[in-house]
Amino acid sequence: MKHRSIREIASELSIGFENDLQVVGYQVDSRFIGPGDLFFALPGKKTDGHSFLKEVKQRGGAAAIVSKEYHGEDFGLTLLKVPDCELALQHLARLSLLKSNAKVIGITGSLGKTMTKEFTACLLEEKYRVVKNIGSFNTKLTLPLTILNADGSEEVFVLEMGMSEAGDLRKLLEIAAPDIAVLTKVSLVHAEFFPDGLKGIARAKAEIFSHPKTKTAIFDHEFYSFEEEVFQIKAKKRSFSCHDPKADLQLTIFDEKKVTFPFKETPILHNFLASVLVAQEMGMEFEEIKARIPYLQLPKMRWETIERSGIVFINDAYNASPESMRAALSHLPLPKEGRKKIAVLGSMKELGSFSESAHREIGSLAAESVDYLLSFGLETDGLCDAFREKKSSCEFFMDIDALKMRLKEIASPGDVVLIKGSRSMQMERVLECF
C-alpha 341: how far from chain center: 28
Is residue 314 within 8 Å of 300, Cβ to Cβ?
no
Return the pLDDT at 195. 83
Is residue 283 within 8 Å of 387, Cβ to Cβ?
no
| Order of strands across the sheet that contains 416-420 | 304-308, 311-315, 416-420, 341-346, 372-376, 394-397
Element (H, E) at 114: helix 113-124
Element (H, E) at 217: strand 216-220
Contacts (Cβ under 8 Å, ≥6 apart) of 149: 2, 25, 26
- State the Rg of the chain over Cα: 24
Return the pLDDT at 1. 59
> DSSP for 23-43?
E-EEESSGGG--TTEEEE---
Residues paired with residue 218 on neighbouring β-strands, in sequence order: 182, 238
Smallest CA-to-CA distance from 387 within 374, 377, 402 is with 374
What CA–CA distances, in Å, run from 200 to 8, 221, 323, 375?
42, 18, 17, 30
- As a whole number of angstroms, the distance between CA 183 and CA 180 comes to 10
Q: What is the pTM of this model?
A: 0.92
Asked if CATH classification 1.10.730.10 holds for the domain at 304-433, the reply, yes or no, is no
Q: Which numeric CATH code is attached to 4-83? A: 3.40.1390.10
Q: Where are the domains of the chain?
A: 4-83, 100-295, 304-433
Is residue 159 within 8 Å of 132, Cβ to Cβ?
yes
Residues paired with residue 107 on neighbouring β-strands, in sequence order: 160, 182
- As a whole number of angstroms, the distance between CA 263 and CA 266 comes to 9
Helices (H) and strands (E) in the chain, counts: 15, 19
Return the pLDDT at 257. 84
The domain covering 100-295 belongs, at the CATH homologous superfamily level, to Mur-like, catalytic domain (3.40.1190.10)
Region of 75 please: left (phi>0), alpha (psi -120 to 50) or beta: left
Element (H, E) at 216: strand 216-220
pLDDT in tens, the chain (434 residues): 567 899 999 999 999 888 888 999 999 999 999 999 999 999 987 889 999 999 999 999 999 999 999 999 999 999 999 999 999 999 999 999 999 999 999 999 988 999 999 999 999 998 999 999 987 899 999 999 999 999 999 999 999 999 888 889 999 999 999 999 999 999 877 778 888 888 989 999 999 999 999 999 999 999 999 999 999 999 999 999 999 999 999 999 998 888 989 898 999 999 999 999 999 999 999 999 999 999 999 999 999 999 999 999 999 999 999 989 999 999 999 999 999 999 999 999 989 889 999 999 999 999 999 999 999 999 999 999 999 999 999 999 999 999 999 999 999 999 999 999 999 999 999 999 89
